[in-house]
Structure 1
Amino acid sequence: MVSWLSQLHFFVSLAHFLPQLSVQPSSQPEPERGLQPPPLFQLPLPTQDPSETHQQTQLRSELQLSESNPDHQHQAKPVWIRQRRLLLFLGFSFCAATLGLICYMYKNPQNRSNNQEGTETPCLSPACQWASARLSSSADPFTQPCDYFLFTCGSDRLSPDSGGGGRQRGQGIPGHPQNRRGNAVWPERRGRSKEIEDRGLREDKILNRKTVLLQYLREILESNDRPGNTAVQKAKGFYHSCLDTKSIESAGAEPFLTLIQKLGGWAVSGQWNQTDLNSTLSLLMRDYATFPFFNLYVGKDPNDIARGTTKRYIQIDQPDLLIPIEWNSKTHKSQAKTQTLRPFLASCQRYLALLGAPPSSSMIHVGTFISLSSELAVAAAPLHYRLSKGQLYQRMTIKELQSQAPAIDWLGCLQAAFRPLSLIEDDPVLLHNLPYIVQMSRIIGKWLNKHELSTSGPLHTYMVLNLLHTLTPALDSRFSETAESLSAALGNTEEVAPRWKDCVLETERGFELVLTDLLSERTAHREAEEIIQNIFSSFKSKLHELKWTDQESLQFVMKKVQSLIPRLWTTKKSSSEAEIDLLFSKVHCRPNPPKTHLSSLNSSWKQTAPLTLSPVCFQVTVSTHSFFSNYVQLLSLWQRRWRKLLTEETEAVDILSVTPFLRGNELLFPMGMFVPPLFHPTYPRAMNYGVMGFLIAKDILHLILPDIYSQSQTVRAVGDCVWAHYLTVTEKAGRGGVFSLTAAQQQEAWVQYSALQIALQAYHQSLKNHPRDTSISGLSHTRLFLTSFSQVNCDSDPYHESMPLEPSFLITVICAKSDLCPTSLQCPNKTQQHSLQTC
């Protein structure tokens, strides 16, 4: 079939041989006329043939010449009159042919798709080459539509009859983010059982944004760039020492046993200096981020936030007890789980054996440890109970806390934990379970006064085993395997993370500032800001399309939305390489803390030999073969982060955050969202909008959903419409027992369908403003958008459990309106096809 451009060329060529006269001269050139496609398809026109371009240029030149020569016009006027009918006829024929061709093209999506594909400018960047291989290896919704009708998000989680079939996209593709068996991306731990592997493969059907970010940080840490930056090299050295399992295994338990000697020994090993409880506790808090009897962190007071104050406070909470406990709702007390005491006892014995404890005495120490742990557990309470009793964020001064719980030297311990900050007795702290803190103090006092146990040091053993728990990630695999065995005995079926992932997380704990700088350096800020703004603008347009209960409801939601400022979440003050290097190279000296005497201290304490808190000079040095020493330094770096949080008003960027959140009137999008393979500045915009645009829109809708759901009638109607599509196309509508959607499922179906619409609208608006876009595999822009979206699969977020169908099926719903898609979606395996309405 002759294209419309070829016919246009024919009429232009024919007109070229006619006398070139204008009816009325004009001093201004006439605007160039062109055929504009509908707003939804602002695509570049196909490339013209050079000969056609030359002839059109010649035609325009002769037209201009004729306009500039009035005499020539006057002489040719009789000719114009004689040929007027012919020109009118040709003009009407040209318009009719052009309109007919346009109607034909837009009434035949398959033909339009074939014409468009292969004419787009190809993207040849390395990222696009990888994406092209990924697309070619995955099921295409337009060439393999049946694959999108056969399974739900999460396989057989929701469907009452989980028969179906079909293959999972990405399964078996080397290097695919959804495929952990691709060794280039997902190195597996050896010796894992087949059951765990199968479970992991099922879970990998969900694209986990956090895992994608960790994989990207891994690539940064394993890269060889920036060799001169000392802080970066220290971060990379720490990461590689974490991966060096051979050195860790050969060191065994010796590093930990050496550390115990620095703490005054241990009665289990037969040598203990009977060190003072509070001196040992101060050391554990200061140097090893270990809090055996209570938890310590820094945070804000919600009451202050409501008043517009952002001050941070030291917060004291109940500890993360090592002994497994359960809550008794009748007695309102916690208690040790009797069915788990045996495996817990076995794990404690195993730890002592690994540390060289004599079998004859280890049972005594294990028994007292379990007994003390059980007493402390009774006073602990779950969060919901403490919330109902108003026990959270109770404010008091350090002096008042000392009077309530005198067994702990609170000022001395807090000074040690937050050095070099100066704390005084009148400084406020926030308590999250004061009854536990009071009871904990009584229990410690009681155990201190048990003279028959003075030589075995049960409180000291309790602190040492808590320190062992802190340092287990830095010890050989025997310790971690013991912890995993206990976890499995407690019913925890969570898959063991690969070593590289743990190492990335541990590196981030100590070198967060370094990794934040490296991530910011690699983030395409301009492209990320652009897609954020465009999606947010499209989201606001979507709100006007919804059916609201009344006009006031729309105004209420729009007023809230209009007040929001969406932006990329980055550090307001970027640090230079020199500043970061200085931070990780200078020596930090902690002076000897003054001896604190408080009248409220319990005079019945047994005065044992205090540990000497000599001035400690700390310099960040990384050993390539001693992960244990590196890990101990990491704990000190972690504590330094706390001190920084307590004194600085600015909010630190959370490098591991992967979803947007609201802070005041700001809608902040973390940098960790915009990483490959989900987003890349060299990708075609169609690909970025189809993947990241959809995720951004979905996140925004979830944040605003409570207001929309309560004020709009559309959520339920659209959710049911999408579900009706699914039942019809999968031929489940006529079966008995097909369940209807719950409110949560209706909401999620509406959220994801609306997010796809918002992202598609934003992309088409982007094409309208900037018509140029590249493509991959010769796909038309809209087809590339939808194909890229189909690979997102079920994104791992708190709401994916509520999605009643495979998100890629939403393409079928979108394509129910035939002029939206480059080709119709028909599954030849289906004997029954229906004309579906637009949701």
Structure 2
Amino acid sequence: MSATRIELEPQLSVQPSSEPEPERRLQPPPLFQLPLPTQDPSEIHQQTQLQPELQSESNPEHQAKPVWINHRRQLLFFLFGFSLCAAILGIIYYMHQNLQNRSNNQADTETPCLSPACQWASTHLFMSADPFMQPCDYFLFTCGSDGLSPDSGGRQRGQGIPGHPQNQKENAVWPERRGRSKERQDRGQRKEKILDRKTVLLQYLREILESNDRPGSTAVQKAKGFYHSCLDTKSIETAGAEPFLTLIQQLGGWAVSGQWNQTDLNSTLSLLMRDYATFPFFNLYVGKDPNEIARGTTKRYIQIDQPDLLIPIEWNSKTQKSQAKTQTLRPFLTSCQRYLALLGAPPSRSMIHVGTFISLSSELAVASAPLHYRLSKGQLYQRMTIKELQSQAPAIDWLGCLQATFHPLPLIEDDHVLLHNLPYIVQMSRIIGKWLNKHELSTSAPLHTFMVLNLLHTMMPALDSRFSETANNLSVALGNTEGVAPRWKHCVLETERGFDLVLRDLLSERTAHREAEEIIQNIFSSFKSKLRELKWTDQKSLQVVMKKVQSLIPRLWTTKEVSSEAELDLLFSKVTVSTHSFFSNYVQLLSLWQKRRSQLLTELTEAADILSVTPFLLGYELLVPMGMFVPHLFHPTYPRAMNYGAMGFLIAKDILHLILPDIYSQSETVHAVGECVWAHYLTVTEKAGRGGVFSLSAAQQQEVWVQYSALQIALQAYHQSLKNHPSDTSISGLSHTRLFLTSFSQVNCDSDPYSELMPLEPSFLITVICAKSDLCPTSLQCLNKTQPHPLQTC
């Protein structure tokens, strides 16, 4: 027994040998003999055992050992064996977990997407901040910030709210930001870096107008020619004010220039309304009567409203009347004088005409009223015949002006119109009559000047930069801090005004209808499932909401019948686009715009608005516009994870806002989820040194619930899509869930009317939703902070 035991033990001599052993001293100890890289670990272990065995046999004097040494060797051997087993078990567990993770990752990534759109998306994702790489910092930064360094700038959402965690110790956290104008920096960064969905759509339309993929129809070529003439600022600057002065002469001259044939007020007004879409004394548009929509009536009416007066107006809540802003009269006067100077008016005459223009504008301003006041007084959608309107406001030839505007439609005195401020219309007629009867002035010269300056305002987009700079200076003096839109955006919007039918068909051709319809249906189905999960205050509220939801038919808002190239060419056959005269092109655009207004009176269906980017309800239909489904927010070749993470979230958020505007008062879940998400946020921000607590308002809790629920709805819809169609591609090797959440992080700062109610960065919702450990591919725990306990699932 003892011999067997000694053979298995390593050589651990504690007594010096009686004789020198030169051969043994020249050999390194077996423990320090390094194995070859190709050797198997089991062979190495056998070698370390074999050498002591041979040595013990060659030295019989070492076989007799004290008992306590043998027990110690047994203990060491036991510990060694136990450690070796533990290490082997650890290696086996690690390899098992690694293989399982690889298996899960392979099952969740499938094949890479290699389309041009995906290649662009891959580059974009690579250059953007990754919420999974820096989870502690990502959600604390302003929306659209590309970097996560202190120098990236920008104001955190919630700054300025008393007690908000991000207001605490701001200078201590980012000392580099001291002395900066944070508000100005924030505005600039948001406008530059955040592409809201409207801007994304306009950029896509820009690409269409600038593309040379195919010649296209004549109508398409004219639309592109109009757009490019708008971009030709050199020709516009060279023309100066001359095109507008020529237009004034065609209309009978102008008293300011000294050459005016004293045209009749109503004849001039009819021309401005018909050919130049200019409405100085009142506004005109076409629309339905909301009182008839409930009965399913599709008839449209001419609607008459108060005008958009050029003079700045403010509402006096004490007198319940509007008035011109006293503090803005001087800059407004300066701008009017500048316009007349640009049009060549002699200084001796311009002051008189500017004075009468401001006086007349002030009188009309007093008669106007803001929308909330008119709503409270029931002044909207007042129905009357044209004949009845003529008796109440006789200064305007209503039938003649309306017939000229909506030519060739036959209008008669018994046709009904809808008014939105009858008291203003009546008072406007009295003011015009008073100015016509003033003997100290040359007949209707002030009224004519008023119409000419309104026409100038209409034509301003087609004039040289001196006019736009004057308008911008006035805007800044009035306190407007928004910058000037880039020229391309201005030109896209102007092109759409006249060539909306052309752009609508071009957009429809490029829209992935099947993929868009699929995501709409899946999101709406997931939305209905979310409603059933809510805890309602009473069953009646649930029944009312569910009845409304069940009756809705969600679909992509497209044109029922796409116009053929021949039809569009015929429609725009009389339009002649000049390459270097944007002014003449713009005049034709205004005429086209007015013709489209006339066509609306007879159309039975709701024409798709290509500039619409939010869903809306029309009867029993929930219509999602085509303008939402454009790159980079959506593309048919993207992995579905990307489309659902971005577009799915936006659609779900819009539906929640549209159908459940006051859900907070109807469901206990809204309060609970809002508080839960907020608790997550406070836990992490307090750990990050941003102490301070304040309670969320009901509106803030609802918005937190809306955005968190929208993310859940989109994710559930995506998972359902995977069940129906298991295969999906990937980008940059990201797993499906991670790609979904990363795609969401690119659009989580989408601007809408409710965005100001969100008390935290929407990207933080990724951290909250990942609190469910089996959902996200990686943990979002802070590396430099330890959490006392796992956060609960909201």
Q: Same fold (TM over 0.5)?
A: yes
Partner SS, residue 774 of structure 1: coil
1:655 corresponds to = 610
Partner SS, residue 647 of structure 1: coil
Which region of structure 1 is more displaced relative to structure 2, 310-319 or 706-715?
Answer: 706-715
TM-score by length of 2: 0.82
Are residues 695 and 272 of structure 1, via their aligned partners in 2, closer, same or farther at CA, if it must alter by over 3 Å? same
2:327 corresponds to = 339
2:713 corresponds to = 758
Opposite residue 156 of structure 2, the aligned amino acid is D
Are residues 147 and 207 of structure 1, via their aligned partners in 2, closer, same or farther at CA, if it must alter by over 3 Å? farther
Are residues 336 and 550 of structure 1, via their aligned partners in 2, closer, same or farther at CA, if it must alter by over 3 Å? closer
Opposite residue 688 of structure 1, the aligned amino acid is N
Are residues 110 and 135 of structure 1, via their aligned partners in 2, closer, same or farther at CA, if it must alter by over 3 Å? farther
Match 2:680 to one of 725, 730, 736: 725
Opposite residue 693 of structure 2, the aligned amino acid is V
2:28 corresponds to = none
Note the 1:151-550 alignment, pairs <5 A: 151=141, 155-159=155-159, 160=164, 161-162=166-167, 199-204=187-192, 206-454=194-442, 457-550=445-538
Q: In the alignment, is the contact (CA less than 8 A) between 1:415 and 1:422 conserved in 2?
A: yes
Shift in Å at residue 301 of structure 1?
Answer: 1.2
Shift in Å at residue 672 of structure 1?
Answer: 0.3
Opposite residue 781 of structure 1, the aligned amino acid is H
2:114 corresponds to = 124
Partner SS, residue 454 of structure 1: coil
Which region of structure 1 is more displaced relative to structure 2, 562-571 or 375-384?
Answer: 375-384
1:143 corresponds to = 133
2:660 corresponds to = 705
Match 2:782 to one of 827, 834, 838: 827
Deviation string 1:135-177 (CA, Å, 9 cap, x unpaired) is 1112222222223242365833414333569999xxxxxxxxx
Q: In the alignment, is the contact (CA less than 8 A) between 2:284 and 2:303 conserved in 1?
A: yes
Cα distance in 2, alignment partners of residues 541 and 145 from structure 1 = 30
Are residues 812 and 736 of structure 1, via their aligned partners in 2, closer, same or farther at CA, if it must alter by over 3 Å? closer
Partner SS, residue 121 of structure 1: coil
Structure 2, unaligned runs of 5 or more: 1-89, 144-153, 175-180
Deviation string 1:79-125 (CA, Å, 9 cap, x unpaired) is xxxxxxxxxxxxxxxxxxxxx99999998899458843996301000
Shift in Å at residue 308 of structure 1?
Answer: 2.4
Matched, 1:692 2:647: yes
Q: In the alignment, is the contact (CA less than 8 A) between 1:105 and 1:112 conserved in 2?
A: no
Shift in Å at residue 552 of structure 1?
Answer: 4.4
Q: In the alignment, is the contact (CA less than 8 A) between 1:398 and 1:427 conserved in 2?
A: yes
Q: In the alignment, is the contact (CA less than 8 A) between 1:109 and 1:823 conserved in 2?
A: no
Note the 1:71-90 alignment, pairs <5 A: none
Partner SS, residue 124 of structure 1: coil
Q: In the alignment, is the contact (CA less than 8 A) between 1:324 and 1:340 conserved in 2?
A: yes
TM-score by length of 1: 0.78
Are residues 198 and 641 of structure 1, via their aligned partners in 2, closer, same or farther at CA, if it must alter by over 3 Å? same
1:784 corresponds to = 739
Partner SS, residue 752 of structure 2: coil
Q: In the alignment, is the contact (CA less than 8 A) between 2:130 and 2:138 conserved in 1?
A: no
Matched, 1:671 2:626: yes
Deviation string 1:608-663 (CA, Å, 9 cap, x unpaired) is xxxxxxxxxxx211001000000000000110111111111111111101011111
Partner SS, residue 669 of structure 1: strand
Q: In the alignment, is the contact (CA less than 8 A) between 2:301 and 2:417 conserved in 1?
A: yes
Deviation string 1:16-68 (CA, Å, 9 cap, x unpaired) is xxxxxxxxxxxxxxxxxxxxxxxxxxxxxxxxxxxxxxxxxxxxxxxxxxxxx
Are residues 194 and 276 of structure 1, via their aligned partners in 2, closer, same or farther at CA, if it must alter by over 3 Å? farther
1:177 corresponds to = none
Partner SS, residue 746 of structure 1: helix
Shift in Å at residue 710 of structure 1?
Answer: 3.3
1:614 corresponds to = none
Are residues 114 and 788 of structure 1, via their aligned partners in 2, closer, same or farther at CA, if it must alter by over 3 Å? same
Aligned residue-pair number: 683
Match 1:746 to one of 701, 712, 721: 701
Note the 1:566-605 alignment, pairs <5 A: 566-585=554-573
Opposite residue 508 of structure 1, the aligned amino acid is E
Cα distance in 1, alignment partners of residues 585 and 497 from structure 2 = 12
2:65 corresponds to = none
Cα distance in 2, alignment partners of residues 166 and 478 from structure 1 = 47
2:575 corresponds to = 620
Cα distance in 2, alignment partners of residues 103 and 643 from structure 1 = 76
Opposite residue 561 of structure 1, the aligned amino acid is V
Are residues 423 and 275 of structure 1, via their aligned partners in 2, closer, same or farther at CA, if it must alter by over 3 Å? same
Deviation string 1:520-568 (CA, Å, 9 cap, x unpaired) is 0000000000111111111111222222234444333222211111100
Cα distance in 2, alignment partners of residues 424 and 546 from structure 1 = 55
Opposite residue 150 of structure 1, the aligned amino acid is L
Partner SS, residue 785 of structure 2: coil
Cα distance in 2, alignment partners of residues 287 and 167 from structure 1 = 60
Deviation string 1:372-406 (CA, Å, 9 cap, x unpaired) is 11111111111111111121111111111111111
Are residues 718 and 165 of structure 1, via their aligned partners in 2, closer, same or farther at CA, if it must alter by over 3 Å? farther
1:35 corresponds to = none
Cα distance in 1, alignment partners of residues 785 and 772 from structure 2 = 19
Cα distance in 2, alignment partners of residues 682 and 629 from structure 1 = 42
Structure with max Cα Rg: 2
1:68 corresponds to = none
Cα distance in 2, alignment partners of residues 108 and 715 from structure 1 = 40
Cα distance in 1, alignment partners of residues 502 and 347 from structure 2 = 46
Shift in Å at residue 490 of structure 1?
Answer: 0.9
**Percentage of matched positions with identical amino acids:** 88
Matched, 1:555 2:537: no
Matched, 1:816 2:771: yes
Are residues 681 and 167 of structure 1, via their aligned partners in 2, closer, same or farther at CA, if it must alter by over 3 Å? farther
Opposite residue 358 of structure 2, the aligned amino acid is I
Cα distance in 2, alignment partners of residues 311 and 286 from structure 1 = 22
Cα distance in 1, alignment partners of residues 304 and 651 from structure 2 = 36
Partner SS, residue 537 of structure 2: coil
Opposite residue 722 of structure 1, the aligned amino acid is V
Partner SS, residue 302 of structure 2: strand
Opposite residue 442 of structure 2, the aligned amino acid is S
Are residues 622 and 101 of structure 1, via their aligned partners in 2, closer, same or farther at CA, if it must alter by over 3 Å? farther
Q: In the alignment, is the contact (CA less than 8 A) between 1:106 and 1:112 conserved in 2?
A: no
Match 1:806 to one of 761, 777, 788: 761
User: Could you say what the CA RMSD is over the residues aligned between the two structures, in angstroms?
Assistant: 2.6
Q: In the alignment, is the contact (CA less than 8 A) between 2:157 and 2:761 conserved in 1?
A: no
Structure 1, unaligned runs of 5 or more: 1-99, 169-192, 586-618
Are residues 799 and 784 of structure 1, via their aligned partners in 2, closer, same or farther at CA, if it must alter by over 3 Å? same
Which region of structure 1 is more displaced relative to structure 2, 715-724 or 136-145?
Answer: 136-145
Please state which structure has a larger fraction of its residues in helix.
2
2:87 corresponds to = none
Deviation string 1:664-714 (CA, Å, 9 cap, x unpaired) is 111110000000000000001111111111111111111222364333210
Opposite residue 468 of structure 1, the aligned amino acid is L
Cα distance in 2, alignment partners of residues 368 and 397 from structure 1 = 33
Partner SS, residue 314 of structure 2: strand
